[in-house]
Amino acid sequence: MMATEIVNASGPDDISVLHKVSRIVSSELSLDEMLGEIVGLAARITGCDACLVYLAEAETNELVLRASQVPHAADLGHLRMKMGEGVTGWVAEHQSPVALSSKAAADPRFKMFPALVEDTYEAFLSVPVINKGKAIGVINMHHRDQHGHSVDEITTIQFIGEQMGSAIAKSMLEEANVRLAAETEDMKRQLETRKAVERAKGILQRRHNLTEEEAYLRMRNESRRLRRPMKELAEAIILAEELARKDPPPAAAEA
């Protein structure tokens, strides 16, 4: 039978936790490094056997696994669930913690992931990460054995989730901006390649009386034969055309 229990007990020193959170927030850590620090801090405070952090992805309205105390390299950035799905999604949607002291997987909200051995553990604590009144992530703590979560334990993890919210949101925005810049640069390169190829095709069509498709196939085959990118080949054709215009062949001598 599922059991949910909160036990009163003396928790970690608040000043010590505040100092550690402040150090993480004021550091120049990347998002992944920051999440790693949070995982370590939460694990030390609760004595849990595993700690995971999920972050909300605005584009898909999904929670994505981004950090884990136990190695999950293949699942980080890939394992995801909808907002409201599972205990984790419920916590994010309701912005309220859930503490399950035993038989956590028996909770009707629980969503089991075969890739996560932690989902077979007995006790489970899930706390939202809040920024400007909105849940942007969830911190999950798993205990292999039954574990009564103290009020201090829960409120301390809630404090971490609230205090780290703005720093995580800022790092998420910076990460999104870097990704957007990379995507923009990639689109720019693709556009430049397309323009060069179109121009080179036109040159081949005029020079050799080819159709557009024939010109493209000639370029593609030559690109493969020479093992050179299409853009590089197109630029070579364009350059040769420009040089020919600047230095036309001499006129034939009159008889």
9 versus 62: which is more confidently predicted? 62
Give yes or no: residues 83 and 209 share one domain: no
Listed range (15-19, 43-47, 91-95, 115-119) with the worst mean pLDDT: 15-19
Give yes or no: residues 160 and 214 share one domain: no
CA 82 vs CA 14, 60, 86: distances in Å: 33, 8, 8
Q: Please check whether residue 255 lies inside any domain of the structure.
A: no
Average pLDDT over residues 222-239: 91
Domain C-terminal end among 136, 167, 198: 167
Q: What is the pLDDT of residue 91?
A: 96
Q: Residue 242: which CATH number? A: 1.10.10.10
Give yes or no: residues 45 and 145 share one domain: yes
Tokens of 58: 């605005």
Give yes or no: residues 88 and 199 share one domain: no
Give yes or no: residues 130 and 194 share one domain: no
* Domain with 34 in it: 6-167
Q: Please check whether residue 229 lies inside any domain of the structure.
A: yes
Please give the sequence-ordered ranges of beta strands (E in DSSP) within the chain, or none if there are none.
Answer: 6-7, 50-57, 62-68, 80-82, 98-100, 123-131, 134-143, 149-150
Give yes or no: residues 129 and 198 share one domain: no
Give yes or no: residues 14 and 79 share one domain: yes
> Has residue 195 got a pLDDT over 90?
yes
Q: How confident is the model at residue 3 (pLDDT cuts 50, 70, 90)?
A: very low
How many domains does the structure of the chain reveal?
Answer: 2
Q: pLDDT tens-digit profile of 70-115?
A: 777 778 888 899 999 999 999 999 999 999 999 999 999 998 888 8
Instruction: Provide the percentage of residues in the chain whose pLDDT is more than 90.
Output: 46
Q: Report residue 131: phi and psi, to 5°.
A: -145, 120
The answer to whether the predicted template modeling score (pTM) of the entire model surpasses 0.85 is no
Neighbouring C-beta atoms of residue 251, cutoff 10 Å: 6
Give yes or no: residues 186 and 159 share one domain: no
Q: Residue 126: which CATH number? A: 3.30.450.40
Q: pLDDT tens-digit profile of 129-175?
A: 999 889 999 999 999 999 999 998 998 898 888 888 888 888 778 77
Give yes or no: residues 134 and 211 share one domain: no
Average pLDDT over residues 175-193: 87
Give yes or no: residues 34 and 133 share one domain: yes
Give pairs for 238-245: CB < 8 Å, separation 24+. Answer: 238/196, 238/199, 238/200, 238/203, 241/203
Q: Is 51 within 8 Å of 140 (Cβ atoms)? A: yes
Listed range (44-53, 104-113, 166-175, 234-243) with the worst mean pLDDT: 166-175
Q: Please check whether residue 87 lies inside any domain of the structure.
A: yes
Collapsing DSSP to helix, strand or coil, 110 comes out as: coil
Give yes or no: residues 190 and 77 share one domain: no
Give yes or no: residues 163 and 189 share one domain: no
